[in-house]
Amino acid sequence: MEEELQQLRTNASSDLMTDEDFIATIESMGVEAQEREINDLLKAMHENRIVSWDEAERILMETDQTPIKCSLPEQTRPTEPDNEVDVDQCIRKLLDNDPSLKEINLNNMKRTPVPAIKRLLEALAYNEHCERISLANMGLYDHDINVLVTVIEMNQAIKKVNLETNYLSGDFFAKLFKAALVNESVEEIKAVNQGVSFSTQSEKEIIDAIVKNHGLTKISINFRLPEGRHKVENATLRNGELKRVKRREAAQKARLEAEELAKNPVPKLAPEPKKEPEPKKIAPKVRLTVF
User: Quick one: pLDDT band at residue 261, thresholds 50, 70, 90?
Assistant: confident
d(CA 152, CA 156): 8
- For residue 203, the domain's CATH number is 3.80.10.10
CA distance from start to end of the chain: 138
pLDDT tens digits along 36-76 = 766 766 666 655 556 566 665 666 565 455 555 555 555 55
Residue 209: which of 178, 184, 233, 163 has the closest Cα?
Answer: 178
Buried/exposed code over 4-38 (b: 16+ C-beta within 10 A; e: otherwise)? eeeebeeeeeeeebeeeeeeebeeeeeeeeeeeee
CA distances from 56 to 60, 62, 65 (A): 6, 10, 14
Residue 238's domain comprises 87-248
> What ranges in 170-199 are assigned the alpha helix state H?
170-183
Identity of residue 250: A
- Among 17-26, 178-187, 202-211, 260-269, which is the least confidently predicted range? 17-26
User: Quick one: pLDDT band at residue 181, thresholds 50, 70, 90?
Assistant: very high
How many domains are contained in the chain? 2
Helix axes 170-183, 147-154, angle to 10 degrees: 20
Whether residues 13 and 116 share a domain: the answer is no
Q: Which residue has the higher pLDDT, 258 or 30?
A: 258
Whether residues 93 and 228 share a domain: the answer is yes
Of the residues 248, 263, 278, the one at which a domain ends: 248
* pLDDT at 291 exceeding the cut of 50: no
Q: What is the CA radius of gyration of the chain?
A: 37
Whether residues 16 and 109 share a domain: the answer is no
CB atoms within 10 A of CB 218: 12
pTM, to two decimals:
0.63
